[in-house]
Amino acid sequence: MKIGVLGSGTMGISIGHFTTIKDHQTIIYDSSKNALKSGEKKLSDLLKKLKNKGKYSKEDIKRITSNLTFTDDIKKLKDSELIIEAIIEDINIKKEIFSKIEKLVDNKCIITSNTSSLSIASLASSLKENKRFIGMHFFNPANLMPLVEIIPAIQTSQETLDRSKNILVEMGKVVVIAKDTPGFIVNRVARPFYGEAIRIYEEGIANIETIDWATKEIGGFRMGPFELMDFIGNDINYMVTETVFKEFYFDSRYKPSFTQKRLMEAGYLGKKSGKGFYDYNTEEIKNINKNRELGKKIVFRILSMLINEASDALFLKIASKEDIDLAMTKGVNYPKGLLAWADEIGIDNVLETLENLYNTYKEDRYRPSPILRKMCSENSNFY
Ligand SMILES: NC(=O)c1ccc[n+]([C@@H]2O[C@H](COP(=O)([O-])OP(=O)(O)OC[C@H]3O[C@@H](n4cnc5c(N)ncnc54)[C@H](O)[C@@H]3O)[C@@H](O)[C@H]2O)c1
């Protein structure tokens, strides 16, 4: 296929890396010459590293480099059969580029956006022929992370949805379909992993080291929430939470925390700035409380909140139960799908934890999803 990628930043480069290793001719366009240069350099450094490590053969490198071109001339994208937009997260700038690209490409070309937080319906409205527009949300880095969330807008045709899905599946991606709602599946369902962990820390129930230890050691997660927030960047992670919160008309379930906001304001962004929840410049002495009872309580509280979010996404038909579980295991590496996990630990136990939290705090954020109550009364499971 001939693929046009808009944007030569973090995502544009990793998407281009992915499509070219899959042998598709790809042109990456960016309006900034500097961004193109720096993107090209970053990719070439990465390819060298992967070759030295023995992960890529000479042929792999050749396939990528011979299929990939960089340009600041948008007209070069006119023969594209698929456009994947990954420019700055600004609705007006995105809309402007979509109306430009629509005039250039053939009317069979599928036009997609990799936006994390904008409405697909709103972006689609920038096109005259908007039934060929769809959300294609890759995960960072797109060349490694198997998941892509596909988000049809209300304007998208079934043909566009089917073709988009086939293209990605043929390229070996794991595809899930999500409703055009804030955070789609992953960025919505994952919020309590961060939010509830911060809340536990703010209340003084445990320190960050203990919470991270418990989620990994007892919960089986690859990274603890604080390590992960530092890894993602507290600026980015905070902004995603704030966007989801605002987009859900200030539902308290997604309320951001002052703890993380202050870190962001102070420039304590995490690994990339040398300091975040953790200090990466000193050999910190980790003060972990390895009391397993406490650890289990922490994990069960965070997990129950995650399951509640996944259940509510199912209740509101954001995606199928299979897709919700796939999204969390393939998009953010959770050890198990949350709904399958709920079956394993017992829906009644999850509901009891949520009801206890709700009764203790009387905060709406702890309200259990109606589907959990219904399932409990029917004694049923997700699977
Ligand atoms: N970074 C992530 O982890 C991640 C994951 C999934 C989705 N996304 C989404 O992908 C998109 C890009 O994110 P990113 O992290 O790669 O951003 P980035 O800041 O690394 O790159 C954005 C690029 O867009 C270019 N650009 C800005 N205006 C432009 C214009 N008018 N025309 C052409 N190019 C323009 C910039 O020069 C820059 O190179 C966003 O919509 C973001 O929400 C990001």
Write down the domain spans for the chain: 2-177, 188-378
At 186, the amino acid letter reads V
How far apart are alpha carbons 263 and 234 in whole angstroms? 7
Of the candidates 158, 164, 179, the one whose C-alpha atom is nearest the C-alpha of residue 320 is: 179
Considering the entire predicted model, what is its pTM? Answer: 0.94
User: What per-residue confidence (pLDDT) applies to 52?
Assistant: 96
How far apart are alpha carbons 22 and 352 in whole angstroms? 48
| Best probe residue, ligand 1, of 33, 116, 140, 237 (max atoms within 8 Å of C-beta) | 116
Ligand 1 midpoint to CA 215 (Å):
31
Of the candidates 139, 247, 263, the one whose C-alpha atom is nearest the C-alpha of residue 198 is: 263
Confidence tier at 296 by pLDDT (50, 70, 90): very high
Ligand 1 midpoint to CA 55 (Å):
27
Sign of CA dihedral 269, 272, 277, 283: negative
**Atom of ligand 1 lying closest to residue 89 CA:** 41
**Average pLDDT rounded to a whole number, residues 195-214:** 98
Instruction: Determine whether the shortest distance from the Cβ of 93 to ligand 1 is under 6 A.
Output: yes
Write the secondary structure of 96-154 as one string of H (helix), E (strand) and C (coil).
HHHHHHHHHCCCCCEEEECCCCCCHHHHHCCCCCHHHEEEEEECCCCCCCCEEEEEECC
Please say whether the beta carbons of 15 and 84 come within 8 A. yes
How far apart are alpha carbons 214 and 296 in whole angstroms? 7
* DSSP 8-state assignment for residue 367: P
Tokens 């043929």 appear where?
A: 170
- DSSP element (H, E) containing 247: helix 234-247
Confidence tier at 283 by pLDDT (50, 70, 90): confident
**Average pLDDT rounded to a whole number, residues 289-308:** 98
Contacts of 164-170 with CB under 8 Å at 24 or more apart are 164/110, 164/112, 164/134, 164/136, 167/1, 167/82, 167/110, 168/136
Mutual orientation of helices 338-345 and 321-331 as an angle, nearest 10°?
A: 110
The catalytic residues are 116, 137, 149, 187
User: What per-residue confidence (pLDDT) applies to 77?
Assistant: 98
> Which residue, judged by its Cα, is nearest atom 3 of ligand 1?
140
User: What per-residue confidence (pLDDT) applies to 286?
Assistant: 78
- Neighbour count for residue 93 (Cβ, 10 Å): 12
| Best probe residue, ligand 1, of 15, 43, 84, 88 (max atoms within 8 Å of C-beta) | 88
Look over the chain and give the mean of its residue pLDDT values, rounded to a whole number.
Answer: 97
Which CATH architecture does the domain made up of 188-378 adopt? Orthogonal Bundle (1.10)
How far apart are alpha carbons 196 and 257 in whole angstroms? 10
> Cα–Cα distances in Å, from 27 out to 15, 40, 76, 171, 180?
11, 12, 8, 17, 28
User: What per-residue confidence (pLDDT) applies to 96?
Assistant: 98
The set of residues, in sequence order, having a beta carbon less than 8 Å from that of 162 and lying 6+ positions away, is none
- Is it the case that residue 88 has pLDDT exceeding 80? yes
**Atom of ligand 1 lying closest to residue 93 CA:** 31
CATH of 2-177, one of 3.40.50.720, 2.30.30.360, 3.40.50.2000, 3.60.20.30: 3.40.50.720
**Average pLDDT rounded to a whole number, residues 150-155:** 98
How much of the chain, in percent, has pLDDT values that exceed 70?
Answer: 100
Structure token pair of residue 279? 């200090």
> Which residue, judged by its Cα, is nearest atom 26 of ligand 1?
87
Q: Is there a common fold for 2-177 and 188-378?
A: no
**Average pLDDT rounded to a whole number, residues 283-301:** 92
Structure token pair of residue 261? 């906001």
E strands in 238-360: none
Residue 267 in 3-state DSSP? coil
User: What per-residue confidence (pLDDT) applies to 117?
Assistant: 87
User: What per-residue confidence (pLDDT) applies to 12?
Assistant: 97
Instruction: Determine whether the shortest distance from the Cβ of 30 to ligand 1 is under 6 A.
Output: yes
* DSSP 8-state assignment for residue 328: H
The residue among 369 and 117 whose pLDDT is bigger is: 369
The set of residues, in sequence order, having a beta carbon less than 8 Å from that of 81 and lying 6+ positions away, is 1, 2, 3, 106, 108, 109, 110
Confidence tier at 252 by pLDDT (50, 70, 90): very high
Least confident among 44-58, 149-163, 271-285: 271-285
